[in-house]
Amino acid sequence: MSAPLGYYPGCSQSGTAAEYDISTRACCKALGIELADVPDWTCCGSTPAHTVDHHLAGALSARNLLQAQAAGFDRVITPCPSCLSALKTADAHLAHETYRAKVEHLLGRPGPGPVNCQSVLQVLFEQIGPGGVKAKVTRPLTGLRVAPYYGCIMNRPPGLMNFDDPENPMAMDALLSACGAEVVDFPFKTECCGAAFGMPRLDVMQRLSARILDMARSCGADAIVVACPLCQMNLDLRRGQVNSASGQDITMPVPYFTQLLGLALGLPDADLALGKLVLPLAPALIAAKEREAQREAHREGERAAKEAVKAGHRPAPQPVCEEDAPCA
Protein backbone atom coordinates (compact mmCIF):
# COMPACT_ATOMS: atom_id res chain seq x y z
CA MET A 1 0.00 0.00 0.00
CA SER A 2 1.32 3.46 -0.88
CA ALA A 3 1.62 6.35 1.59
CA PRO A 4 -1.69 7.59 3.02
CA LEU A 5 -3.48 10.47 1.34
CA GLY A 6 -4.30 13.58 3.33
CA TYR A 7 -8.03 13.54 3.98
CA TYR A 8 -9.93 16.78 4.54
CA PRO A 9 -13.44 15.83 5.69
CA GLY A 10 -15.00 19.32 5.73
CA CYS A 11 -17.55 20.66 8.21
CA SER A 12 -20.71 19.13 6.71
CA GLN A 13 -19.21 15.67 6.85
CA SER A 14 -19.13 15.78 10.64
CA GLY A 15 -22.78 16.85 10.78
CA THR A 16 -25.51 16.83 8.17
CA ALA A 17 -23.46 14.76 5.71
CA ALA A 18 -22.00 12.24 8.17
CA GLU A 19 -23.03 9.38 5.86
CA TYR A 20 -20.84 10.80 3.09
CA ASP A 21 -17.83 10.74 5.41
CA ILE A 22 -18.59 7.27 6.81
CA SER A 23 -19.16 5.68 3.40
CA THR A 24 -16.16 7.47 1.86
CA ARG A 25 -13.81 6.14 4.52
CA ALA A 26 -15.26 2.64 4.19
CA CYS A 27 -15.02 2.56 0.37
CA CYS A 28 -11.46 3.86 0.37
CA LYS A 29 -10.46 1.25 2.93
CA ALA A 30 -12.11 -1.54 0.97
CA LEU A 31 -10.38 -0.43 -2.22
CA GLY A 32 -6.94 -0.11 -0.64
CA ILE A 33 -6.72 3.70 -0.48
CA GLU A 34 -5.32 4.69 2.89
CA LEU A 35 -6.57 8.01 4.28
CA ALA A 36 -5.15 10.05 7.13
CA ASP A 37 -7.02 13.13 8.35
CA VAL A 38 -5.37 16.52 7.90
CA PRO A 39 -4.53 17.19 11.55
CA ASP A 40 -6.53 19.88 13.31
CA TRP A 41 -8.33 20.89 10.12
CA THR A 42 -10.58 23.96 10.11
CA CYS A 43 -13.27 25.34 7.79
CA CYS A 44 -12.14 26.09 4.21
CA GLY A 45 -14.34 29.21 4.14
CA SER A 46 -16.62 27.68 1.51
CA THR A 47 -18.86 29.98 -0.55
CA PRO A 48 -19.52 32.61 2.15
CA ALA A 49 -15.82 33.48 2.49
CA HIS A 50 -15.19 34.11 -1.20
CA THR A 51 -18.33 36.17 -1.56
CA VAL A 52 -17.00 38.50 1.16
CA ASP A 53 -13.29 38.69 0.38
CA HIS A 54 -10.89 36.63 -1.74
CA HIS A 55 -7.95 37.00 0.65
CA LEU A 56 -10.00 35.93 3.66
CA ALA A 57 -11.14 32.89 1.65
CA GLY A 58 -7.54 32.21 0.66
CA ALA A 59 -6.27 32.40 4.25
CA LEU A 60 -8.95 30.06 5.61
CA SER A 61 -8.13 27.46 2.97
CA ALA A 62 -4.37 28.03 3.07
CA ARG A 63 -4.29 27.23 6.77
CA ASN A 64 -5.52 23.73 5.95
CA LEU A 65 -2.99 23.34 3.15
CA LEU A 66 -0.28 24.32 5.67
CA GLN A 67 -1.59 21.70 8.08
CA ALA A 68 -1.50 19.11 5.32
CA GLN A 69 2.03 20.01 4.33
CA ALA A 70 3.26 19.98 7.90
CA ALA A 71 1.92 16.44 8.18
CA GLY A 72 3.84 15.45 5.06
CA PHE A 73 0.97 15.22 2.57
CA ASP A 74 1.56 16.50 -0.95
CA ARG A 75 -1.92 15.43 -1.94
CA VAL A 76 -5.16 16.26 -0.14
CA ILE A 77 -8.50 14.72 -0.99
CA THR A 78 -11.95 15.77 0.11
CA PRO A 79 -15.43 14.40 -0.58
CA CYS A 80 -17.01 17.90 -0.72
CA PRO A 81 -16.90 19.86 -4.01
CA SER A 82 -17.22 23.18 -2.20
CA CYS A 83 -14.23 22.43 0.04
CA LEU A 84 -12.35 21.20 -3.02
CA SER A 85 -13.12 24.37 -4.95
CA ALA A 86 -11.98 26.53 -2.01
CA LEU A 87 -8.75 24.60 -1.48
CA LYS A 88 -7.92 24.53 -5.19
CA THR A 89 -8.69 28.23 -5.63
CA ALA A 90 -6.36 29.13 -2.76
CA ASP A 91 -3.66 26.82 -4.09
CA ALA A 92 -3.90 28.35 -7.58
CA HIS A 93 -4.01 31.99 -6.42
CA LEU A 94 -1.09 31.58 -4.01
CA ALA A 95 1.13 31.38 -7.08
CA HIS A 96 0.55 35.15 -7.51
CA GLU A 97 2.87 37.22 -5.34
CA THR A 98 0.55 40.02 -4.31
CA TYR A 99 -2.22 37.57 -3.43
CA ARG A 100 0.22 35.41 -1.47
CA ALA A 101 1.53 38.41 0.46
CA LYS A 102 -1.96 39.42 1.57
CA VAL A 103 -2.92 35.86 2.51
CA GLU A 104 0.31 35.43 4.48
CA HIS A 105 -0.45 38.66 6.31
CA LEU A 106 -3.84 37.24 7.35
CA LEU A 107 -2.26 33.89 8.26
CA GLY A 108 0.49 35.57 10.25
CA ARG A 109 3.06 33.19 8.80
CA PRO A 110 4.42 31.99 5.45
CA GLY A 111 1.84 30.31 3.25
CA PRO A 112 1.91 26.76 1.90
CA GLY A 113 3.70 25.53 -1.20
CA PRO A 114 1.71 23.87 -3.97
CA VAL A 115 -0.61 21.07 -2.81
CA ASN A 116 -2.41 18.74 -5.18
CA CYS A 117 -6.08 18.80 -4.11
CA GLN A 118 -8.50 16.25 -5.53
CA SER A 119 -12.01 15.01 -4.92
CA VAL A 120 -12.68 11.56 -3.53
CA LEU A 121 -14.54 10.93 -6.80
CA GLN A 122 -11.44 11.77 -8.84
CA VAL A 123 -9.20 9.51 -6.75
CA LEU A 124 -11.62 6.60 -6.92
CA PHE A 125 -12.07 7.10 -10.65
CA GLU A 126 -8.40 7.58 -11.54
CA GLN A 127 -6.72 5.34 -9.00
CA ILE A 128 -9.15 2.43 -8.85
CA GLY A 129 -11.26 3.03 -11.96
CA PRO A 130 -14.38 1.26 -13.18
CA GLY A 131 -12.38 -1.90 -13.91
CA GLY A 132 -10.93 -2.04 -10.40
CA VAL A 133 -14.36 -1.45 -8.88
CA LYS A 134 -16.02 -4.09 -11.06
CA ALA A 135 -13.49 -6.69 -9.95
CA LYS A 136 -14.46 -6.10 -6.32
CA VAL A 137 -18.25 -5.92 -6.67
CA THR A 138 -19.91 -8.70 -4.69
CA ARG A 139 -23.46 -7.32 -4.57
CA PRO A 140 -24.16 -5.76 -7.98
CA LEU A 141 -26.81 -3.06 -8.16
CA THR A 142 -28.49 -4.88 -11.02
CA GLY A 143 -31.70 -3.24 -12.18
CA LEU A 144 -31.21 -0.05 -10.15
CA ARG A 145 -31.75 2.99 -12.35
CA VAL A 146 -29.68 5.92 -11.16
CA ALA A 147 -29.43 9.56 -12.24
CA PRO A 148 -25.87 10.73 -11.56
CA TYR A 149 -26.01 14.31 -10.30
CA TYR A 150 -22.59 15.98 -10.04
CA GLY A 151 -23.71 19.45 -9.01
CA CYS A 152 -22.27 22.79 -10.14
CA ILE A 153 -18.68 22.85 -9.07
CA MET A 154 -17.31 19.32 -9.05
CA ASN A 155 -16.05 19.98 -12.57
CA ARG A 156 -16.37 23.75 -12.96
CA PRO A 157 -14.69 25.95 -13.85
CA PRO A 158 -12.72 23.43 -15.90
CA GLY A 159 -9.47 25.42 -15.81
CA LEU A 160 -9.42 25.17 -12.02
CA MET A 161 -11.04 21.82 -11.29
CA ASN A 162 -9.18 20.09 -14.09
CA PHE A 163 -11.15 16.85 -13.90
CA ASP A 164 -13.69 15.21 -16.18
CA ASP A 165 -15.93 17.08 -18.63
CA PRO A 166 -17.47 20.33 -17.31
CA GLU A 167 -20.72 19.91 -19.28
CA ASN A 168 -21.13 16.15 -19.35
CA PRO A 169 -19.04 14.58 -16.59
CA MET A 170 -18.84 10.78 -16.72
CA ALA A 171 -16.73 9.62 -13.76
CA MET A 172 -19.68 8.86 -11.50
CA ASP A 173 -21.58 7.31 -14.44
CA ALA A 174 -18.68 4.94 -15.05
CA LEU A 175 -18.26 3.95 -11.40
CA LEU A 176 -21.99 3.34 -10.97
CA SER A 177 -22.09 1.26 -14.16
CA ALA A 178 -19.19 -0.75 -12.78
CA CYS A 179 -21.35 -1.38 -9.71
CA GLY A 180 -23.95 -2.93 -11.98
CA ALA A 181 -26.43 -0.04 -11.88
CA GLU A 182 -28.26 1.26 -14.95
CA VAL A 183 -27.17 4.85 -15.41
CA VAL A 184 -29.87 6.94 -17.05
CA ASP A 185 -28.89 9.72 -19.45
CA PHE A 186 -29.43 12.63 -17.06
CA PRO A 187 -29.39 16.05 -18.74
CA PHE A 188 -29.21 18.01 -15.46
CA LYS A 189 -25.91 16.55 -14.26
CA THR A 190 -24.41 19.96 -13.53
CA GLU A 191 -27.50 22.15 -13.08
CA CYS A 192 -27.61 24.10 -9.80
CA CYS A 193 -29.83 22.78 -6.97
CA GLY A 194 -30.13 26.16 -5.25
CA ALA A 195 -26.93 25.78 -3.25
CA ALA A 196 -26.92 27.61 0.07
CA PHE A 197 -30.11 29.57 -0.64
CA GLY A 198 -32.19 27.07 1.33
CA MET A 199 -32.08 29.36 4.33
CA PRO A 200 -32.02 32.91 2.91
CA ARG A 201 -34.14 32.39 -0.23
CA LEU A 202 -36.07 29.16 0.21
CA ASP A 203 -38.25 29.96 -2.82
CA VAL A 204 -35.22 30.00 -5.12
CA MET A 205 -33.88 26.70 -3.78
CA GLN A 206 -37.34 25.12 -4.05
CA ARG A 207 -37.67 26.06 -7.72
CA LEU A 208 -34.23 24.79 -8.69
CA SER A 209 -34.31 21.55 -6.70
CA ALA A 210 -37.81 20.78 -8.00
CA ARG A 211 -36.44 20.95 -11.56
CA ILE A 212 -33.71 18.43 -10.72
CA LEU A 213 -36.19 16.01 -9.12
CA ASP A 214 -38.68 16.39 -11.94
CA MET A 215 -36.03 15.66 -14.55
CA ALA A 216 -34.73 12.62 -12.64
CA ARG A 217 -38.25 11.27 -12.44
CA SER A 218 -38.94 11.80 -16.12
CA CYS A 219 -35.69 9.95 -16.88
CA GLY A 220 -37.13 6.97 -15.02
CA ALA A 221 -34.54 7.00 -12.24
CA ASP A 222 -35.05 5.09 -8.99
CA ALA A 223 -32.51 7.31 -7.23
CA ILE A 224 -30.54 10.52 -7.74
CA VAL A 225 -26.94 9.82 -6.85
CA VAL A 226 -24.94 12.77 -5.53
CA ALA A 227 -21.38 13.76 -4.68
CA CYS A 228 -22.10 17.03 -2.84
CA PRO A 229 -23.43 17.48 0.71
CA LEU A 230 -25.31 20.65 -0.19
CA CYS A 231 -27.05 19.08 -3.18
CA GLN A 232 -27.91 16.13 -0.96
CA MET A 233 -29.38 18.35 1.75
CA ASN A 234 -31.52 20.31 -0.68
CA LEU A 235 -32.83 17.23 -2.47
CA ASP A 236 -33.25 14.98 0.58
CA LEU A 237 -33.63 16.80 3.90
CA ARG A 238 -35.51 19.68 2.25
CA ARG A 239 -37.66 17.38 0.07
CA GLY A 240 -40.83 18.23 1.96
CA GLN A 241 -40.24 21.93 1.30
CA VAL A 242 -39.46 21.29 -2.38
CA ASN A 243 -42.46 19.02 -2.91
CA SER A 244 -44.81 21.44 -1.19
CA ALA A 245 -43.70 24.28 -3.47
CA SER A 246 -43.88 22.25 -6.68
CA GLY A 247 -47.07 20.42 -5.77
CA GLN A 248 -45.39 17.10 -6.52
CA ASP A 249 -44.89 14.09 -4.33
CA ILE A 250 -41.54 12.71 -5.39
CA THR A 251 -40.11 10.20 -2.93
CA MET A 252 -36.99 9.27 -4.90
CA PRO A 253 -34.02 8.71 -2.56
CA VAL A 254 -30.77 10.69 -2.84
CA PRO A 255 -27.84 8.51 -1.76
CA TYR A 256 -24.20 9.55 -2.01
CA PHE A 257 -22.29 7.68 -4.71
CA THR A 258 -20.04 6.29 -2.01
CA GLN A 259 -23.03 4.68 -0.31
CA LEU A 260 -24.01 2.85 -3.50
CA LEU A 261 -20.40 1.94 -4.19
CA GLY A 262 -20.09 0.52 -0.67
CA LEU A 263 -23.32 -1.39 -1.13
CA ALA A 264 -22.02 -2.98 -4.33
CA LEU A 265 -18.70 -3.79 -2.65
CA GLY A 266 -20.67 -5.75 -0.07
CA LEU A 267 -19.69 -3.52 2.85
CA PRO A 268 -21.64 -3.94 6.11
CA ASP A 269 -24.61 -1.65 6.78
CA ALA A 270 -22.75 0.28 9.47
CA ASP A 271 -20.24 1.43 6.81
CA LEU A 272 -22.97 2.77 4.52
CA ALA A 273 -25.02 4.73 7.09
CA LEU A 274 -28.09 4.39 4.83
CA GLY A 275 -30.28 5.09 7.86
CA LYS A 276 -29.14 8.70 7.79
CA LEU A 277 -30.90 9.37 4.48
CA VAL A 278 -34.26 11.08 4.97
CA LEU A 279 -35.83 9.40 1.92
CA PRO A 280 -35.10 5.69 2.40
CA LEU A 281 -33.14 3.84 -0.26
CA ALA A 282 -34.91 0.52 0.34
CA PRO A 283 -37.94 1.13 -1.95
CA ALA A 284 -35.58 1.88 -4.85
CA LEU A 285 -33.63 -1.31 -4.19
CA ILE A 286 -36.88 -3.30 -4.03
CA ALA A 287 -38.09 -1.73 -7.30
CA ALA A 288 -34.78 -2.69 -8.89
CA LYS A 289 -35.06 -6.25 -7.64
CA GLU A 290 -38.63 -6.57 -8.91
CA ARG A 291 -37.65 -5.13 -12.27
CA GLU A 292 -34.79 -7.59 -12.54
CA ALA A 293 -37.03 -10.50 -11.53
CA GLN A 294 -39.51 -9.46 -14.22
CA ARG A 295 -36.73 -9.32 -16.80
CA GLU A 296 -35.43 -12.71 -15.73
CA ALA A 297 -38.95 -14.13 -16.10
CA HIS A 298 -39.12 -12.62 -19.57
CA ARG A 299 -35.74 -14.08 -20.53
CA GLU A 300 -36.83 -17.43 -19.14
CA GLY A 301 -40.02 -17.24 -21.21
CA GLU A 302 -38.00 -16.52 -24.35
CA ARG A 303 -35.69 -19.43 -23.66
CA ALA A 304 -38.63 -21.76 -23.09
CA ALA A 305 -40.28 -20.57 -26.32
CA LYS A 306 -37.08 -21.22 -28.29
CA GLU A 307 -36.77 -24.67 -26.78
CA ALA A 308 -40.38 -25.35 -27.70
CA VAL A 309 -39.79 -24.27 -31.30
CA LYS A 310 -36.71 -26.49 -31.44
CA ALA A 311 -38.78 -29.38 -30.14
CA GLY A 312 -41.33 -28.76 -32.89
CA HIS A 313 -44.08 -27.17 -30.81
CA ARG A 314 -45.85 -23.92 -31.61
CA PRO A 315 -44.24 -20.97 -29.82
CA ALA A 316 -45.99 -20.02 -26.59
CA PRO A 317 -47.21 -16.40 -26.32
CA GLN A 318 -44.52 -14.17 -24.85
CA PRO A 319 -45.09 -12.47 -21.50
CA VAL A 320 -45.47 -8.77 -22.05
CA CYS A 321 -42.62 -6.72 -20.63
CA GLU A 322 -43.93 -3.58 -18.98
CA GLU A 323 -40.67 -1.72 -19.26
CA ASP A 324 -39.80 0.83 -21.90
CA ALA A 325 -36.25 -0.42 -22.04
CA PRO A 326 -35.43 -3.51 -24.10
CA CYS A 327 -35.64 -6.59 -21.97
CA ALA A 328 -32.49 -8.26 -23.20
Partner 1 sequence: MQSPLQAIDLTTSRDQSFVEDVARESGQDLRSCYQCGNCTAGCAYTMNYDIPVHQIMRLVQLGLRDKALSCRSIWLCATCQACTTRCPNNIEVAVVMDVLRHMARRAGHAPERLVKTFTDGFLASVARHGRVFEAGLAACFALKSGKPLQDAGLGPAMLSRGKLAFLPHEPGGNGKAEVAAIFQRFLKDQESGK
Instruction: Examine residue 255 and tell whether it contacts partner 1 (CB under 8 A).
Output: no
Question: C-beta of 50: minimal distance to partner 1 in Å?
Answer: 6
Q: Give the binding range for partner 1 (CB under 8 A) out of 114-122, 152-160, 253-261, 262-270.
A: 152-160
Instruction: Examine residue 97 and tell whether it contacts partner 1 (CB under 8 A).
Output: no
Instruction: Examine residue 152 and tell whether it contacts partner 1 (CB under 8 A).
Output: yes
Q: Which three-class secondary structure state does DSSP give residue 136?
A: helix
DSSP 34-92: -EEEPTT-----HHHHHHH-HHHHHHHHHHHHHHHHHTT-SEEEES-HHHHHHHHHHHH
User: 137 vs 160, which CB is nearer to partner 1?
Assistant: 160
Alpha helix (H) ranges present in the chain? Answer: 18-30, 46-52, 54-70, 81-93, 97-107, 120-123, 129-136, 158-161, 171-178, 202-218, 229-232, 239-246, 257-264, 269-272, 282-310
Instruction: Examine residue 276 and tell whether it contacts partner 1 (CB under 8 A).
Output: yes
Binding mask 20-49 for partner 1 (x = CB under 8 A): -------------------xxxxx-xxxxx
Q: Give the binding range for partner 1 (CB under 8 A) out of 56-64, 257-265, 285-293, 294-302.
A: 56-64
**Cα distances (Å, whole numbers) of residue 312 to 126, 288, 301, 315, 319:** 53, 36, 16, 9, 20
Question: C-beta of 158: minimal distance to partner 1 in Å?
Answer: 6
Q: Which three-class secondary structure state does DSSP give residue 235?
A: helix
Query: For 321, which DSSP code?
Result: P
What is the rounded radius of gyration, in angstroms, for the C-alpha atoms of the chain? 22
Q: Using an 8 Å Cβ cutoff, are 141 and 180 in contact?
A: yes
In the list 6, 12, 180, 288, the residue contacting partner 1 (rule: CB under 8 A) is 12
Q: Using an 8 Å Cβ cutoff, are 165 and 210 in contact?
A: no
Q: Give the binding range for partner 1 (CB under 8 A) out of 110-118, 121-129, 169-177, 200-208.
A: 200-208
**Residue 157, amino acid:** P
User: 16 vs 127, which CB is nearer to partner 1?
Assistant: 16
Question: C-beta of 220: minimal distance to partner 1 in Å?
Answer: 23
Question: C-beta of 197: minimal distance to partner 1 in Å?
Answer: 7
In the list 34, 53, 126, 269, the residue contacting partner 1 (rule: CB under 8 A) is 53
Q: How far apart are CA 169 and CA 176, in angstroms?
A: 13
Instruction: Examine residue 278 and tell whether it contacts partner 1 (CB under 8 A).
Output: yes
Instruction: Examine residue 202 and tell whether it contacts partner 1 (CB under 8 A).
Output: yes
**Cα distances (Å, whole numbers) of residue 250 to 11, 19, 216, 219, 285:** 29, 22, 10, 13, 16
In the list 26, 33, 192, 213, the residue contacting partner 1 (rule: CB under 8 A) is 192
Instruction: Examine residue 288 and tell whether it contacts partner 1 (CB under 8 A).
Output: no
Residues 102-131 binding partner 1 (CB under 8 A) are 105-108
Instruction: Examine residue 170 and tell whether it contacts partner 1 (CB under 8 A).
Output: no
Question: C-beta of 299: minimal distance to partner 1 in Å?
Answer: 39
Interface ranges with partner 1 (CB under 8 A): 11-12, 14-16, 18, 39-43, 45-56, 59-60, 63, 67, 105-108, 152-153, 156-158, 166-167, 190-192, 194-202, 204, 207-208, 237-238, 240-241, 275-278
